[in-house]
Amino acid sequence: EAMLALQGRNPVVQPLLVIIQIVEEVLKLNEDPRVHGVYLHLPPAYITSRVLNTIKPEKDVDGISDLNMGRLVRGDLSKGFVPPIASAVLDLLEKHDSALEGKTVLLVGGEGPLGVSLQCLIERSGMVALKGNWSSKSLQRQVWCCSYDSFFLFFFKTFFKPFFKSPVSLVWVRIPHSSLQNTGVPLCFCLAPFVFFNVVGSCSRWLQEQQYRPWHLHSLKLQPMTPVPSDIEISRAQTPKPVDQLAEEIGLLPEELEAYGRSKAKVRLSLLDRLHKQPDGKYVLVAGITPTPLGEGKSTVTIGLVQALSAHLKLNSFACLRQPSQGPTFGVKGGAAGGGYAQVIPMEEFNLHLTGDIHAITAANNLVAAAIDARMLHEATQSDKALFNRLVPSVNGVRRFSPIQISRLCRLGINKIDPASLTPQEVSTFVRLDLDPSKITWQRVVDTNDRFLRKITVGQASTEKGQIRETGFDIAVASEIMAILALADSLVDMKNRLARMVVGTSRSGQPVTAEDLGVSGALAVLMKDAIKPTLMQTLEGTPVFVHAGPFANIAHGNSSVLADKLALKLVGCDGFVVTEAGFGADIGMEKFFNIKCRASGLRPNVVVLVATVRALKMHGGGPNVSAGAPLPKEYIDENLSLVAGGCRSNLRKQIQIAQLFGVPVVVALNVFKTDTQAEIDLVCEIAKECGASNAVPCHHWSQGGRGSLELAQAVNEAASRPSHFKFLYNIEMPIVEKIRTIAQQVYGADDIELSPEAKAKIDYYNQQGYGSLPICMAKTHLSLSHMPDKKGVPTGFVLPIRDVRASIGAGFIFPLVGTMSTMPGLPTRPCFYDIDLDPVTEEITGLF
């Protein structure tokens, strides 16, 4: 109607432009979750194929789009709709004669979708359909020559008159043995019940779709080769399923998916609302013993385990992994997609950029840093009045506070919303953050190992008017914003946490937040897509969520709460979610329990503790292992003595750490080709003696999921036992006591030693009311102690706390132990020496 009015007011509007406007309106209705049916009231000239096929088939209650017509012709009405006009005609015929089979119906007019649907339904009812033409001169003779007892005569035509609100179909029927020999029926008055029936059907289907959907996972076949090719060759040899197919197989709705190319997609958080009544699956944490600098394969074990669970045991399972930083990817460690025949694919996309989450974090973090320095410059060079006039500008003669400024006024105790009503003192309090340059804790970040950015000087240009100060860079994944992304449980929660971030202290000793800077809303905008986990798949086609990537030695080292929560709903109550904690159990696992589980409210069922013969030999007294250097012969030749020493020291201690939290432990021995059967058997035997509920060898690297079947069965069995989870410390304990508890019970220290700076910081945090936050220790991952060269289970040491910082938005206090740095450096020969691109094929080489 609006289109007709538009055309009436402006005769030059072309029909094509009107159709474009109709299509735009239909597209809006398609995406509106409140609309379950779209019924077109338009002149026939505008009901084009383009318009009809723009409507989503599930909302096409007219039933005349190409897809719905195809379903009707095929006899598949489980998803489609019968056109209301066709339903009304059949209903009219049935009312006049219940015995329709064998009758003949003459259709005159009715070309197009409606004619097709009528003919299809008439024939499906056992009648014979004949078609006539309105222009036929012999039409009347054709009608009256039909046998009186065996024919229904049906004339069909569509009109659009100014006095009708919609297209009108007229029916003229000759009915045998009826007094109604000539009946003209305007079907528009009969359509309402059938339109309503289709709308109700659409709504019912929508409600059904909102329920939990059982999985129909199609596994990808592996053909392992010997010797095992390089990781990137294996990845390229497997063609991943289209991500929309994977999503459908695991019960995601199309509207819950935001595709980033063919093989990865963001998943919307609305899934949590849809499945909020669905029971969670079982929750498995993969941790490890204290690693060598080469890593012991926790990611590989995680992927091998879910491949075994889903592709071989046919149990729903999801892996939840962290996104790798480009620092180690181009530095020493390489990527984090797993390895061998237990990988996330495509591994190039996994290890490089992915969906841009780390770049979003970098942009958001550095926006805060820019806001800090800009605000300090402007406060140093302007009067209160000038600052106020610029912060609250007059627009068209009206001066208004923005919402974020009103929030600041409320926190300051100034309950006013009219800028003109502020006193000079209130103006000064409002406009001046008065940041102390020596107490700014916020640093810039970059996702590269760059040791020369650890300490820098900013503000040296003459335009900055002498606002020079020392600062530094952290690696991007050490940003508090990364920790917030990993711990937030909703967009609202993330926005509130971003606002609470403390960036420094004023000269009067008050904390200054991102919200005080006025930047927290902009941060939420930068992070609005990053909060959605990314869906990928393993080599065997099982689902993986990749989300967040905080390091475990300088942050809390776990993937996101949201990824775990989404996955736990999707797998169903008998499924498994397998997530990984960074580095050794003393680092990533401790933080998983004390920080992540507090934030999420989730409780794990099983801990899988990853060990390797190589690392156990190191802890048993073997020589040092260095990245890039050949392994000493002790690590290649059988040496049961070194293996036993490592098992009875570091492995035993890490099992005990897991048991502190009351969770059963399964030891997964990641088998390398140099390991002997005697060494493998010895590790499994001693692990069980040390308290593991089971210990099994894993061959996923060379065999894929089939090589981890024994582990999958052991995890399934352990998960069926009751878990008696408990936290290590009471959150209300004093900060010093919480640090001491971790140092003594987890690391094995005799005590802790606080530097004067650390003591002063703790006193300040207590004054500000931050004392009840959990602890996130920043400590080397290469030893249970603060000394990287001390292997096994060091004893007799005092843990030095050099500094204590607070991530108020993320929600934890993090002490810096020893000389721990938040910006790694590049080695003499970084990984990037081997990484290259073929400009013809665009294939990447050298990633691992």
Phi/psi-derived region of residue 387, left when phi > 0, alpha when psi is between -120 and 50, beta in every other case: alpha
Tokens 């995890």 correspond to 715
Residues near 616 by beta carbon (within 8 Å), at least 6 away in sequence = 289, 642, 643, 645, 646, 647, 650, 651, 683
Residue in 268, 274, 298, 569 annotated catalytic: 298
CA 766: distance to chain centroid? 35
Q: For 636-683, what is the HEC assignment?
A: CCCCHHHHHHHHHHHHHHHHHHHHCCCCCEEEEEECCCCCCHHHHHHH
Identify the active-site residue in 701, 797, 812, 814: 701
Report d(CA 566, CA 577) in Å as an integer: 10
Contact 308, 706 (CB under 8 A): yes
Closest CA to 165 of 40, 47, 304, 278: 40
Catalytic pick from 54, 300, 579, 822? 300
| 134 noted as active-site residue | no
144 as an active site residue: the answer is no
Give the angle 209-211-215 at the CA atoms, nearest 5°. Answer: 90
Residues 799-808 as b/e (b if ≥16 CB within 10 A, e otherwise) read bbbbbbbbbb
> Considering only CA atoms, which of 562, 567, 592, 577 is closest in space to residue 485?
562
CA distance 576 to 95: 56
300 catalytic residue (yes or no): yes
Whole-number Å distance between alpha carbons of 791 and 267: 42
Instruction: Compute the half-sphere exposure of residue 212: CA atoms within 13 Å on the CB side of its CA.
Output: 18
- What is the rounded CA–CA span in Å between residue 406 and residue 417? 7
Determine which one of 247, 369, 499, 552 is catalytic.
552
Known catalytic membership, residue 583: yes
DSSP strand pairing (606-611 vs 665-670): parallel
d(CA 541, CA 242): 10
Residue linked to tokens 């050490």: 478
Question: What's the Cα-to-Cα distance from 249 to each of 205, 273, 492, rounded to whole Å?
Answer: 18, 20, 30
Q: How is residue 280 annotated by DSSP?
A: P
DSSP 146: S
Told to judge if 701 belongs to the known catalytic residues of this protein, a careful annotator would answer: yes
Q: Write out the H or E segment, with its range, that includes residue 172.
A: strand 168-174
Q: What are phi and psi of 318, to 5 degrees?
A: -135, 135
For residue 379 the two structure tokens come to: 């406060």
Q: Is 333 known to be catalytic?
A: yes
Which of 160, 196, 672, 727 is catalytic? The answer is: 672
Catalytic-labelled residue, pool 151, 318, 330, 583: 583
Candidate list 103, 241, 322, 791, residue with the active-site label: 322
Q: Which of 266, 333, 495, 596 is catalytic?
A: 333
Q: 277-304: buried (b, 16+ CB within 10 Å) or exposed (e) per residue?
A: ebebbbbbbbbbbbbbbbbbbbbbbbbb
CA distance 360 to 629: 36
Residues 6+ apart with CB under 8 A from 372: 435, 440, 442, 503, 504, 517
Task: Return the number of other C-beta atoms located less than 10 Å from residue 753's C-beta.
Answer: 12
Of 408, 422, 406, 410, nearest to 517 by C-alpha is 408
State residue 305 phi and psi, 5-degree precision: -65, -45
DSSP 234-270: HHHHS-PPPHHHHHHHTT--GGGEEESSSS-EEE-TH
Among this protein's residues, is 832 annotated catalytic?
A: no
d(CA 64, CA 57): 9
CA atoms within 13 A on the CB side of 621: 8
| Pairing status of strand 168-174 against strand 151-159 | antiparallel
Alpha helix locations (H) across 275-394? 298-307, 326-330, 347-351, 357-381, 384-391
Tell me if residue 154 is catalytic: no
Q: Which residues are catalytic?
A: 298, 300, 322, 333, 552, 583, 672, 701
